[in-house]
Structure 1
Amino acid sequence: MSSRPAVPGAAFDVILEAVREHTHVLLGATIGFSDEQWAQPTGLPGWTRSHVASHLVENARGLVRVCRGLAEGRPARMYPSHADKMRSIERGALAGGLRLQINLDTTASELQTQLPMLHGNSTPVELRAGDPMPADQIPLARLFEVVVHSVDLDVAGHEVHLHTDIALDLLAFESERLGRRPDLPGMLLLPDEGPQIRLGAEGDFSTIGGPADELVLWLARGIVSPRLRGAWDRTSVV
């Protein structure tokens, strides 16, 4: 279970701009990748950098489908099935570096034109099965993908910098998602900039504190930084 704090969070237009900004930074960081660099492995089992990029491409395409469905008043799924999603990612990962870069750019741009129309739209959508959210949180979901997968791409010199309100929103977003996992140990997150978040199993729990943006990366990828207090290597449960 999770206990999500009631925080004002970042304004919708601020999140939209963050999606644009972090996408721009990612594209600028990967533009110089050679095909050999795209083929390098990541910390995600079986995935190269090409797989990560292809996933971001398919994520953007899927979110565009959802946005268009909302605009037309009909439910739309991101992907026909999980198997179709994985096949598309594998196909995309076979593309050369230039094609990957073009696909990243064009699909992100197409999605960016759709996202503003979600402002104030509370229609429930399921981007993951069994994980409903209001439609106006789709930009936050995309931001999470871009931020976390920027780290997966492991670009030399690239660091994630998040506005405080956005970091707190992403932390609450990921806590809500992970909080549905029955195997998650009990945790009390104490972000330096905001209210605590309780998630995981009932009973005994560990307390982890530190900057909200670093707590996001620890929850998502098990990255332990010197500024986190009480964090442990949790890569086995990511």
Structure 2
Amino acid sequence: MSTDRATFAQVVDSVREQTSLLLGSTIGFTDEDWARPTALSGWTRSHVAAHLADGAMAMIRVIEGLRQGIEQRLYESDAAKRRSIELGALASGLDLQIRLDTSASTLQVELPELEFDARPVELRAGYRLPLRRLPLARLSEVVLHHMDLAPHFEPRDLPASIAVELLRFQVDRIGRSGDYPPLKVVADEGYTGVVGRIGDGIEMHGPAGDLLAWLARGTESPRIYRA
């Protein structure tokens, strides 16, 4: 079975939809809930929320800078990024929820204008992509961090074309990094991707959403298997 590529408009709509689902999961969090640890080493839910809000505002700064002819990175440095997250994580649960909501809403207004913009943006040192793919980068952050914030959220509920796009994005992000062993992922929806060092490696099969969660977070699933 194969699935069509998601259109730019579908990705932008999915950013809004998935953000709404995330905010629905966190709206009832108490300050104690926000302080709970996540599977991300050293990060509480508050850290994840601060990172998501910072990420949205960083994307807005990059977009506005390019409008003025100024190319800039998402973050000044890794140290500045970490410092901002640590400070943001000190906020109350209510303030975190408000920051998540307002930053996401502000960014959402900007995303539809990027469809045909091929100017490069640096997401991290050595990793650049065309500005038109920024909505997909944001969608990846929202979906993966929703998993971190709310364990009940499962990416198998994503539309097939969106799950494939996110898996493809994750494969492209990892690339042929020597930090990863050779690996091929084969999605039921018709997509195949290869990451890690060159060589013969393992081959994992299953739904794109489950493969995404496994590749990005090590989340096991009875729906994926090694061939």
TM-score range (shorter-chain normalised) is over 0.9
Structure 1 match to 2:121? 125
Residue number among 158, 178, 181 corresponding to 1:185 in the alignment: 181
Say whether 1:114 aligns with 2:110.
yes
Say whether 1:209 aligns with 2:205.
yes
Q: Which structure has the higher relative contact order (CA within 8 Å, separation 6+)? A: 1
Tell me, in whole angstroms, the C-alpha distance in 2 between the residues paired with 1:47 and 1:199.
26
Say whether 1:140 aligns with 2:136.
yes
Tell me, in whole angstroms, the C-alpha distance in 2 between the residues paired with 1:89 and 1:72.
27
Where structure 2 has 5 or more consecutive residues not aligned to the other structure, the ranges are none
Residue number among 153, 156, 175 corresponding to 1:158 in the alignment: 153
Deviations 1:11-31 (A, max 9, x none): 111000100000001001100
Deviations 1:94-123 (A, max 9, x none): 000000000000000111011111111111
Deviation at 1:70, TM superposition (A): 2.2
The letter for the 1-side match of 2:87 is R
Structure 2 match to 1:235? none
Deviation at 1:76, TM superposition (A): 1.9
CA RMSD of aligned residues (A): 1.4
Structure 2 match to 1:173? 169
Structure 1 match to 2:192? 196
Deviation at 1:180, TM superposition (A): 4.0
CA, structure 1 residues 158+199, in 2 after alignment: closer, same or farther (shift >3 Å)? closer
Say whether 1:79 aligns with 2:108.
no
The letter for the 2-side match of 1:57 is A
- 1:46-57 → structure 2 map (5 Å cutoff): 46-57=42-53
The letter for the 2-side match of 1:47 is W
Instruction: Work out whether residues 65 and 77 of structure 1, in 8 Å CA contact, stay in contact via their aligned partners in 2.
Output: no
Deviation at 1:71, TM superposition (A): 2.1
Aligned length: 224
Deviation at 1:56, TM superposition (A): 0.3
TM-score normalised by L of structure 2: 0.95
Instruction: Work out whether residues 20 and 112 of structure 1, in 8 Å CA contact, stay in contact via their aligned partners in 2.
Output: yes
Identity, % of aligned positions: 51
The letter for the 2-side match of 1:226 is P
The letter for the 2-side match of 1:52 is V
Where structure 1 has 5 or more consecutive residues not aligned to the other structure, the ranges are 1-6, 232-238
The letter for the 2-side match of 1:81 is S
The letter for the 2-side match of 1:158 is F
Say whether 1:43 aligns with 2:50.
no
Structure 1 match to 2:16? 20
Tell me, in whole angstroms, the C-alpha distance in 1 between the residues paired with 2:153 and 2:78.
31
